Structure 1
Amino acid sequence: MKISFLINNIYGIGGTNRAVINLAEALAVRHDVEIVSVFRRATTTKFEIAPRITVRALVDLRPGSADRGAAGSDEPSEVVPAAPAPASTSSSRPTPATAHCALLAGTDGRLHVRRQLSPDAGSPLGPWR
């Protein structure tokens, strides 16, 4: 079975990264596992990852990378529409839950695990409990 983990930044440090890597390594014993990092800001990960696990990034933000200054990189996304700004902020960026739903809309996966740090009552997934 092919198993893919989608994480914001596997190149950073923290409990979520450690947990994803531990679970990926355990599952890689019997399955084809990959970790997909939305962003890449470093050359190597802070935690060691077994070579049998494929790691790839969607957006490479390291100095000198093609993604860093690519045409259109500062324009609004066509995949994730701008969300209305909450009353308490002037930001028009999509909420994490809205972005997560948009990213997974075209997948055929049956199980998606999502971690959210704070309530997001306006999200399509409802408030965090």
Structure 2
Amino acid sequence: MRIQQLEYLEKIVETGSINEAAKQLFISQPSLSQAMKEMEKEYKIQLFYRTKLGITLTNEGREFINYSRGILDQVNLLDERFGKTTTRKHIFSVSGQHYAFVVHAFVELVKKIGQDEYQFTLRETQTQNVLDDIQTFKSELGLNDL
């Protein structure tokens, strides 16, 4: 396993698509797919369910990404302390239905905390998608009116 593979995995989970992740990472889709298959083979697990509609994490994949994010956070700490000048921001994503109060609260949160340490995302979507976003780790927080 390489750190780069973990970064690739995080981008795939963030975008929900291997094609879109490859575009954002500026690599070819086959190279990205191969890197993920190598990691799956090395650990003898299946990270994703692959469909025509995109990818979702398997149960093992969800567990793996939790460990992976911990490793990437540790790498970031090493880089901040001993090396690179660029810092890896923490990701904080919220999914919710389209309500003005959600947008207002989110904007206030971003203003209060600032964007130096965090990359913020607000995903406005439907009820079922909010739940899916939490389950697939696209968002850390979900707001629904169930």
TM-score (structure 1 length as normaliser): 0.30
- Greater relative contact order: 1 or 2 (C-alpha under 8 angstroms, separation 6 or more)? 2
Say which structure is richer in helix. Answer: 2
